[in-house]
């Protein structure tokens, strides 16, 4: 019996030293729409994110995008419905920062009755914003220390693809 406990203790110590692998998390379409940009915008500028055109501005609900008990920090910076503009300046944003230092953000949505500063998981955060501008549609990005990471959507989201709400668009 003592030998078994000693072996169990050694195995437990080894397990503690092993690198912790975070579980993969699915990123689902936060609204029904069409992928309008991924690596590059229509002008050819580097983009490094997924933009989704939700159709008529202010009519399509937007939810948080990553599945699995995450605390999304929703910050509302605008109170008006913003349509047909570049949506520069203060924007509404839902953000989650992971233990590995990466941050995932969903931006450029309009305020709705369900929109307020809060922390939530898989919740309705607003309505689709701009229509037709690749830098004004719903914008999803992953970054660490200001450097964009595009690996999460490579092989999943394709420009021009029609998406249903909840459809897989990437994996973190």
Residue 29 token pair:
């379409």
- Give the model's confidence band at 13: pLDDT under 50 very low, under 70 low, under 90 confident, else very high: very low
Question: What is the reported pLDDT for 67?
Answer: 74
Q: Rounded to whole angstroms, how far apart are CA atoms 162 and 81? A: 24
Please determine, for residue 10, whether its predicted confidence score (pLDDT) is greater than 50.
no
Domain boundaries, the chain: 32-171
Distances (CA, A) of 35 to 7, 51, 71: 53, 6, 26
- pLDDT, one tens digit per residue, over 85-115 is 555 556 788 888 888 899 999 888 888 777 7
Q: What is the pLDDT of residues 29-54, one digit of tens each?
A: 999 999 988 887 667 777 889 989 88
Q: 13-22, 51-60, 66-75, 131-140: which range is least confident on average?
A: 13-22
pTM of the model: 0.77
- 137 vs 16, more confident: 137
32-171 classified as CATH 3.40.30? no
Cα–Cα nearest to 61, from 133, 123, 146: 123
Work out the average pLDDT over 143-165.
91
Residue-wise DSSP of 51-103: EEE-SSTT-SEEE--B-SS--EEEE----S---SS---SS--EEEEE-TTS-E
Helix (H) or strand (E) holding 10: helix 2-17
Percent of the chain with pLDDT over 70: 76
Higher-confidence position of 114 and 154? 154
């Amino acid at each position: 019996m003592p030998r078994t406990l000693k072996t169990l203790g050694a195995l437990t110590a080894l397990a503690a030293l092993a690198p912790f692998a975070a579980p993969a998390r699915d990123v689902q379409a936060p609204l029904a729409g069409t992928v309008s940009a991924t690596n590059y915008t229509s002008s050819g500028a580097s983009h490094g994110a997924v933009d989704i055109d939700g159709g008529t501005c202010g009519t399509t609900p937007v939810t948080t995008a990553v599945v699995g008990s995450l605390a999304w920090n929703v910050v509302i910076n605008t109170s008006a419905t913003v349509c047909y503009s570049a949506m520069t300046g203060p924007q509404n944003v839902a953000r989650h920062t992971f233990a590995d230092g990466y941050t995932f953000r969903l931006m450029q949505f309009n305020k709705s009755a369900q929109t307020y500063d809060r922390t939530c998981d898989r919740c309705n955060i607003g309505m689709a914003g701009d229509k037709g501008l690749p830098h004004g549609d719903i914008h999803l990005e992953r970054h660490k220390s200001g450097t964009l990471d595009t690996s999460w959507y490579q092989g999943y989201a394709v420009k021009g693809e029609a998406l249903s709400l909840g459809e897989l668009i990437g994996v973190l």
